[in-house]
Chain A
Amino acid sequence: MTDAALPHAAVASTAPARRDFGLKRRHAAERRFRLYGVAAIVIGLGFLAVLLVSIVGKGYTAFVQTSITVPVEFSAEIIDKDNERATNPRVLVSANYPVIARNAVAKALGVATDDKAAMRDIAKFVSDGSRSTLREIVVNDPSVIGTTRNVTLLAAADIDSANKGQIDLTVPESKRKVSDRQVAWLDQLKQQGAVSTPFNWGLITFGASSRPETAGLGVALVGSLYMMAIVLLCALPIGVAASIYLEEFAKKNRFTDFIEVNINNLAAVPSIVFGLLGLAVFINFFGLPRSAPIVGGLVLTLMTLPTIIIATRAALRSVPPSIRSAALGIGASRMQMVFDHVLPLAMPGILTGTIIGLARALGETAPLLLIGMVAFVADRPTTPLDPATALPVQIYMWANEAERAFVERTSGAIMVLLLFLALMNLAAILLRRRFERRW
């Protein structure tokens, strides 16, 4: 050891031993902390996995729907027995289509149409939704009357469940929703090749219905879409304008401090309070219609504004002051400085904040319940003033339904909602990448 020759050797030889001891402890602490971190992530991912497995496991079957393709005889006897469709087109709309559907299935199964008990079971075998399927065919083309053609009819919800294996057939017949006879018919039709399980477009096109097989997210999707558009159109310009004013133009004084504190508080206000506010202001005071996406959109705008303002201000603050000096130094006005230099640099942050705010608004339920968007709406809204529901509200409503087939639809709707949220987050990441500038 060369140090031994130096006058300070005594000090040098004791010091490293003490430092080593400290180092060991610090390394141990660091390893422990890393372990905690990994444990936290594993727990988080575990919960996420449980959630996704449970939802997808229950919900994936909602995306297919059991259908029966049988030759349907469009009997003039049943549809228009007085032959008055030329003078009174309403007969085609009000005709007894369920009977036609039942007769067609009975014929395919070889059941006599005068067997009343069997016909009752058949009535529960085909969905009542086949009424609208057949009506549409006839109204669009009255020449089918009197002919026979193959039509794909929806199976009833219980038959759909049985076909998907969701009904335990070992349970005594009296205690289950599907009779032995119906199970036998299902097998018989399967052998004939008449049963198919195509993708369930109805899930994303149909409106509200008390029958699960004809219930869909169509109204909720349109309602949510309108509301997102309204939130984007209102909250983004107002939020960005407020942030720019507060951050770049306003003098820092008590008044702006007061506003800042209030915006932060507003972000923490429970969403149901915004719902009450919307009910009082937009519906009771301004007289906007109940259950309308315009009111929902405005309420969600109020809710999203603080989020967007806070995100935008943070993004503006992260733009280096040297850029502002540079712009002002060559004689740019404050507005030119903001719009030519500061805003483009803050854009990724603003967009990310906005999309995160939108995603939160998309998943918001409580305020919509208060403004009446929890309603039975069967027809898709054409304008934001028509009654509609929203995706999370539809989930809430289906979760309250008793039928077995609504369970899978609830999970299916959650999957649709999660898909939209994931897409929005993906868009946030892509936009961020696209607008980010390298220094």
Chain B
Amino acid sequence: MSLESAATIAAPVSRPNAPPKMQGEKVGVFYGEKQALFDVDLKIEQFNVTSLIGPSGCGKSTFLRSLNRMNDTIDGCRVVGKITLDHDDIYDPAIDVVELRARVGMVFQKPNPFPKSIYENVAYGPKIHGIARNKADLDEIVHSSLRRAGLWNEVKDRLQEPGTGLSGGQQQRLCIARAIATKPEVLLMDEPCSALDPIATAVIEELIDELRENFTIVIVTHSMQQAARVSQKTAFFHLGKLIEEGKTEDIFTNPKNKQTQDYITGRIG
């Protein structure tokens, strides 16, 4: 499918009957001999924010990283089960991991801009994927990505300055701009606010809510308040297993599982 269509269709806030954008079936992840994730079945709905919560080491980041095969970069890491993106098995040998990562973008825990100019940071993805046909096109993509990441007004006069010179919150929004510049369909966020102060966190949360219009978002977070604020769906992981998933308000107000209840009330974690 075209890379552009997902990004340009204006979507309704929630489409409960739409087919899932991504789906994991009996997903297990091994690091060498050690199994870190067991039989996870999870549907990621399109144009929704799905948050993955759970105590440290519960496998939520591992699951997130298996969604765009970033786990492949770890020596000795093995994924079993099936993960689909629009019904295509992403672990199928016929799938090119480069194309997959262009469709499923990622924002990391620590802001990691390239030590290049702000412009270059955002332009890199479109350049390598050949999304921009010419310089004007590229300028347009960079500008709109920065605008969408809510960073435009702060950096429009210093696009040629290094991205590493920005504040932590700005750097993280630059990383979001860089991720959405390749027009992905799904955006994975691995604790994007854990290194940021509360004000920068609030800005990013607002941004996530806006990005939901065009992107399917999966976010790993340690903050239950954040999960409650930004996501429509929540999945609770514990000790490598998916304990409970469902609408965010249901998970937080009426959890079915005892462990979930213990976690969200602060008894475990």
Contacts and interface: CB of A to CB of B under 8 A. Distances in A.
Nearest to A322: B112
Task: Give the secondary structure class of A's interface.
Answer: helix
A175 interface: no
B117 to A, nearest CB: 11
A32 to B, nearest CB: 41
A329 B101 contact: yes
Nearest to A437: B115
Contacts of A340: 124, 128
A438 B162 contact: yes
A400 interface: no
A252 interface: yes
A439 B70 contact: no
Contacts of B51: none
Interface string A13-30: 000000000000000000
Interface residues of B, number: 30
Contacts of B164: 438-439
A7 interface: no
B21 interface: no
A336 B125 CA distance: 11
A300 B106 CA distance: 46
Contacts, number: 72
Interface in A326-342: 326-333, 336, 340-341
A325 interface: yes
B112 A331 contact: no
B125 to A, nearest CB: 4
B102 interface: yes
Interface in A368-404: none
Interface stretch (B175-183, B205-213, B250-258): B175-183
Nearest to B182: A330
Contacts of B181: 330
Interface string B69-96: 0100101000000000000000000000
Contacts of B102: 330-331
Contacts of A325: 70, 73, 106, 108, 112
Contact of A330 (B73, B110, B124, B162): B124
A361 B70 CA distance: 42
Given A252-B75, A331-B128, A331-B129, A326 B101 contact: no
Given A331-B102, A332-B124, 7 more contacts: A322-B112, A326-B175, A326-B178, A331-B99, A331-B125, A331-B129, A438-B115
The 10 closest A-B CB pairs, nearest first, are A331-B102, A331-B101, A322-B112, A329-B106, A330-B125, A326-B112, A437-B115, A331-B98, A333-B98, A439-B164
21 contacts: A322-B110, A322-B112, A326-B112, A326-B178, A327-B114, A329-B70, A329-B108, A329-B179, A330-B106, A330-B181, A330-B182, A331-B99, A331-B100, A331-B102, A332-B128, A333-B98, A340-B124, A340-B128, A438-B162, A438-B165, A439-B164
Interface of A: 251-252, 320, 322-333, 336, 340-341, 345, 437-439
